[in-house]
Structure 1
Amino acid sequence: MKRYKKHITILLLIVLSIIYTTIHPHAIQYFESRPGALLNDYLLDIIPSYNVALFVFLIQYISIGVFLFFNIRNYDTMVNVIAAFLILQTIRLFTIYLLPLEPPEGYVPLKDAILGAVVYSGKIYSKDLFFSGHTSAMYILYFFAKTPNQKIFHLCSLSLIIPLILIQHIHYTIDILGAIVISYLVCYFLRKFYYYTHPEIYDKVNTSNSKDDELPPLWKFKL
């Protein structure tokens, strides 16, 4: 039964990944072609814009590498991470569609050789704004990290990448705040759903002091 459940889960993730990768290029081109609103961002107004793409690139991919090194063999963690990423990216398509925005003043294109080649076909898009994909991706790693030391590392990475995104002026402040709140809610309820469908996992990690029925503080997580 467990093996059957794993096969169904993996198949579902593969199907969802194919659907997302099929829809995403068309959606992003549409978003880029339409006019959007230019927001007043008082925080960005006082931050001079610089090209810090290299530092964003290094922090992002080092964090991903560290996470994979410690968790690649943990089936439950990896399923949750992949599912959270797909759900959040799908939600992003809807929020970008509903909230068309122009890039902030002082916008500096963020050139990512890997992401550009794999996802964006070498093109740079500037209107996939609300909410920040970089922030949400880094938050996923923080949320599902298994040990306190891993969590500290990924929290530091998240804390470093947020100001770099603002310095690059590729997102508004609201894009970053929205990413944190939405990512937290998605990851939390995804974990709850996974526990519900995999009670044997819940029994392993649950403790007598756990208040899993309550929404925990942003800095306290257990998986």
Structure 2
Amino acid sequence: MSTPVITWREAWRQPAFRARLGVVLALLLTLAAVLPRFFAWVQARHGRLLPDPLLALLPARDVSGLTFAVIYLGIGLGVVTLLPRPYPLLRALTAYLLLHLLRCTTLALLPLEPPIGLIILRDPLVEQLFYAAPAPITKDLFFSGHTATLLLLALAVPAGWRRRVLLAATLAIGLLVMMQRAHYSYDVLAAPLFAGLSFWLAGRFIPTPPNN
């Protein structure tokens, strides 16, 4: 017989779970508070313009509406799937925190100018809550956070149709942000590596019981 999924009531009885969840949530809130200044600094720097033969093969289109429809539907599917599963949710939150820390590191180390032909990718929710700035943020390039986040959710949910949908959404977003010229192809191709690393590292801190 398979082991039943651990419920929130069972997980909450464990001090280690409560402590890890509290730390991760506190760190995520702290990160959210400092991101606006960080991205303003990133935007103000002079960066390097990269040649990108793969990007040149794709048509340039404004696909903001479709992009964020896919992103938010994918996030919704991931959240709804993970909410009843406290340990996978905690691992996903930990991986998301690590993903952002890695992304801040790569952005700090690799200042870039946006690709030629950039079409501004508008996300009202994120711009209002995190990236608030007088001008759009266009230099948050390496690596693609949208692509990495959807792949991270695909890794976090149980195997099955939800994972397949999220993997398809990841591929779609990678293509769409390149068509928008919001990212280089290098940003998109690197995203799975950082998503996989973040999820693996989170698993070292948050062991997930079987069938959870």
Both structures adopt the same fold (TM-score exceeding 0.5): yes
Q: Tell whether 2:118 aligns with 1:118.
A: no
Give % identity. Answer: 26
Distance in 1 separating the partners of 2:83 and 2:176? 28
Structure 1 gap ranges (5+): 206-222
Q: Tell whether 2:112 aligns with 1:101.
A: yes
Deviation for aligned residue 1:126:
0.3
Please list every run of at least 4 consecutive aligned residues from structure 1 whose deviation after the TM superposition is greater than 3 angstroms.
none
Question: Which of residues 155, 160, 172 is equivalent to 2:172?
Answer: 160
Q: Tell whether 2:145 aligns with 1:133.
A: yes
Distance in 2 separating the partners of 1:164 and 1:75? 32
Distance in 2 separating the partners of 1:161 and 1:14? 27
Distance in 1 separating the partners of 2:116 and 2:201? 36
Q: Which has the higher contact order (CA 8 A, sep 6+)?
A: 2
| Counterpart position of 1:149 | 161
Aligned pairs for 1:1-223 within 5 A: 2-121=13-132, 123-195=135-207, 201=209, 204-205=210-211
Deviation for aligned residue 1:105:
0.5
Q: Name the amino acid aligned to 1:159.
A: L
Please, what TM-score do these two structures have when normalized by structure 1?
Answer: 0.84
Q: Name the amino acid aligned to 1:53.
A: S
| Counterpart position of 2:8 | none
Between stretches 1-10 and 36-45, larger displacement belongs to 1-10
Structure 2 gap ranges (5+): 1-11
Distance in 1 separating the partners of 2:109 and 2:81? 37
**Aligned pairs, number:** 200
RMSD over aligned CA atoms reads: 1.7
Q: Name the amino acid aligned to 1:134.
A: H
SS in structure 2 at match of 1:188: helix
Conservation of the 8 A alpha-carbon contact between 2:119 and 2:180:
yes
Distance in 1 separating the partners of 2:171 and 2:191? 13
Distance in 1 separating the partners of 2:70 and 2:84? 23
Deviation for aligned residue 1:19:
2.2
Q: Name the amino acid aligned to 2:52.
A: D
Conservation of the 8 A alpha-carbon contact between 2:78 and 2:154:
no
Q: Name the amino acid aligned to 2:197.
A: L
Please, what TM-score do these two structures have when normalized by structure 2?
Answer: 0.89
Conservation of the 8 A alpha-carbon contact between 2:92 and 2:156:
yes
Conservation of the 8 A alpha-carbon contact between 2:96 and 2:198:
no
